[in-house]
Amino acid sequence: MASTFVLLNILVLLSSLLTCSANLSFNFYAGSCPLAEVLVRNTVRSASSSDPTIPGKLLRLLFHDCFVQGCDASVLIQGNTTERSDPGNASLGGFSVIERAKNAIEVFCPATVSCADIVALAARDAVEAAGGPVVEIPTGRRDGKVSVADDVRPNIIDTDFSLDKMIDAFSSKGLSIQDLVVLSGAHTIGASHCNAFNGRFKQDSKGNLELIDASLDNSYAETLMKQCASSSSLTVSNDPETSSMFDNQYYRNLEARKGLFQTDSALMEDDRTRKLVEDLASDEESFSQRWRESFVKLSMVGVKVGEDGEIRRSCSSVN
C-alpha cells in the first residue's frame, strides 16, 4: 500500500512538471529510435564496469550542465570560451562515455536523439549501475546552441557555500530545500580533488596541514590530511565508507561529522536541513523514493524544446 502511495505521488509530481515542459514525454523515442535508452544504458554499464569512477563523473556532469544553461548539453561544447573551458569545469569527466553513446545511437537513428537527453539518461543509468534506484525520466530535450564560460561561476555550487547560498542557488533553478538535501546524496559516489576542500585546513610554517574547521571529525580530518599531504591535486573518495555504492551512507557520514565538503557539513549544522538528513540516514528506501522525485526535477531544469534547440550531430559542437 505504501509503495502504491509513493508511486502516485511521483506520478502527480511528474504530471505537474510535464505540464511545464509539454514537449517532453516518457518513451519519447519509442517510434523514432526505440533502442535509444538501451544503447545509453549499455554504454554506461560497459564504461562503469571497466572504470568504477564513471558513475560519479556522469552524475556530476548532469549537475554542471543543468545548473548553467539548463539541461541542454551546453557543457559538452568544446571551445576556448565555452562552459567546458571554464576552470570550474576543469575536473569534469565522462565526456567520452557520452560521445560513445551518441555514436552508437547515430548508427541506428541519425540526427534523432539529443545530446541533452543522452546526458540525462547517462546520469540516470550511472546511479543504477552503482546500485542505486531505477528512475524513469521523460525525454525530448533539445540541445542548446549557446555555451559561455562566464555563465559557469555565477551558477554552479562552490564547496564552501553557506546553506543560505545553496538554498538560493537551488531555488533559482526551481528546486526546494528538500531537493537540495536529497540531491546532495549524489556525494555518496565519486571522488574530489584535495583542493576542493582545502579551506577546511591551513598550512603551518613547515607545510603541514592543520584542521581549522570544527564541524569535521578529527580522525577523519587526520585521514584527509595524510591523503592530501603531498599534493592538492590528488583525489579522495567523497564517501569514505562505501565509495562505489549509491546508498544512504552519505547521510550517516554527515551524522558522524564526516562530510567531505563544507557544503556537506552545513546540512547537519542547520535546523532547516538536519531532520531530513537524519531521516534519510535511517531509511534507505525513503532516500531512494525521494531521490527519484528530486532527480526528475533536476533533469528538467531549464530544458529546451522545439525550436529553442537542435539535435546536434556531434555533442561537442553545435550544428
* Grid cell locating 280: 534519510
DSSP character at residue 237 = E
* Residue for grid cell 509513493: 6
83 is in an annotated binding site: yes
User: pLDDT tens, 84-93?
Assistant: 999 999 999 9
Domain that holds residue 200: 181-290
What pLDDT does residue 296 have?
98
pLDDT at residue 21 above 70? Answer: no
With respect to residue 162, please indicate whether it lies within any of the assigned structural domains.
Answer: no
With respect to residue 168, please indicate whether it lies within any of the assigned structural domains.
Answer: no
Q: What is the distance between the alpha carbons of residues 232 and 242, in angstroms, rounded to a whole number?
A: 23
Same structural domain for residues 103 and 17?
yes
Where does residue 268 rank: exposed (0-12), middle (13-18), buried (19+ CB within 10 A)? buried
- Of all residues in the chain, the percent with pLDDT exceeding 70 is 93
168 is in an annotated binding site: no
What pLDDT does residue 230 have?
83
Average pLDDT over residues 129-138: 98
Same structural domain for residues 194 and 120?
no
pLDDT at residue 73 above 60? Answer: yes
Q: How confident is the model at residue 6 (pLDDT cuts 50, 70, 90)?
A: very low
159 is in an annotated binding site: no
What pLDDT does residue 20 have?
47
74 is in an annotated binding site: yes
Average pLDDT over residues 51-69: 97
72 is in an annotated binding site: yes
Q: Is 23 helix (H, G, I), strand (E, B) or coil?
A: coil
* CATH at residue 280: 1.10.420.10
With respect to residue 33, please indicate whether it lies within any of the assigned structural domains.
Answer: yes
User: pLDDT tens, 254-311?
Assistant: 999 999 999 999 999 999 999 999 999 999 999 999 999 999 999 999 999 999 999 9
Sequence-separated (6 or more) residues with CB below 8 Å from residue 21:
138, 140, 300, 303, 305
pLDDT at residue 192 above 50? Answer: yes
Same structural domain for residues 121 and 82?
yes
Same structural domain for residues 149 and 207?
no
Beta strands, E only, the chain: 191-193, 201-203, 209-211, 235-237
Same structural domain for residues 113 and 146?
yes
* CATH at residue 120: 1.10.520.10
pLDDT at residue 13 above 80? Answer: no
DSSP labels for 208-227? -EEE--TTS-HHHHHHHHHH
185 is in an annotated binding site: no
What pLDDT does residue 206 have?
80
**Active site residues per annotation:** 64
What pLDDT does residue 19 have?
47
Same structural domain for residues 233 and 125?
no
187 is in an annotated binding site: yes
With respect to residue 4, please indicate whether it lies within any of the assigned structural domains.
Answer: no
With respect to residue 105, please indicate whether it lies within any of the assigned structural domains.
Answer: yes
What pLDDT does residue 63 have?
98
Task: Report the predicted TM-score, pTM, of the whole model to 2 decimal places.
Answer: 0.92
- Of all residues in the chain, the percent with pLDDT exceeding 90 is 87
Amino acid at residue number 167: I
Same structural domain for residues 243 and 152?
no
With respect to residue 18, please indicate whether it lies within any of the assigned structural domains.
Answer: yes
Same structural domain for residues 72 and 136?
yes
What pLDDT does residue 159 have?
94
Same structural domain for residues 24 and 146?
yes
Report how far apart, in Å, the C-alpha atoms of 247 and of each of 203, 208, 238, 300, 317 are: 34, 34, 13, 23, 35
Question: Contact 190/260 with Cβ under 8 angstroms?
Answer: no
Number of domains in the chain: 2
With respect to residue 61, please indicate whether it lies within any of the assigned structural domains.
Answer: yes
